[in-house]
Amino acid sequence: MELKGRTCFITGGARRVGRAIALAFAKQGARVLIHYRSSRDEAEKTAADCAQLSGLEGGCFQADQADPVRIQHLAAEVDARFEVDVLVNSASVFNGTPFLETTPEEWDRMLGVNLRGPAFFCQAFAKGMIRRGRGVIINIADVVTETPWIGFLPYCVSKAALVTLTRGLARELAPAVRVNAIGPGTVLLSENDSEEVRRLAERSSLLGRIGSPEDVARACVFLVEGSDYITGVFLPVDGGKSLRRRGLN
Give catalytic residues, as residue numbers: 155
The answer to whether the beta carbons of residues 24 and 218 sit under 8 Å apart is: yes
Report the DSSP beta bridge partners of residue 183: 236
Q: For the CA atoms of 184, 48, 27, 37, what is the dihedral angle to 10 degrees? A: 20
Cα–Cα distance, 30 to 148 (Å, whole number): 35
- CB environment 103-142: b (16+ within 10 A), e (fewer): eeeeeebbbbbbbbbbbbbbebbbebbeeeebbbbbbbbb
Could you report how far apart the first and last alpha carbons of the chain are, in Å?
38
Residue 169, φ and ψ in degrees, nearest 5? -70, -30
Element (H, E) at 151: none
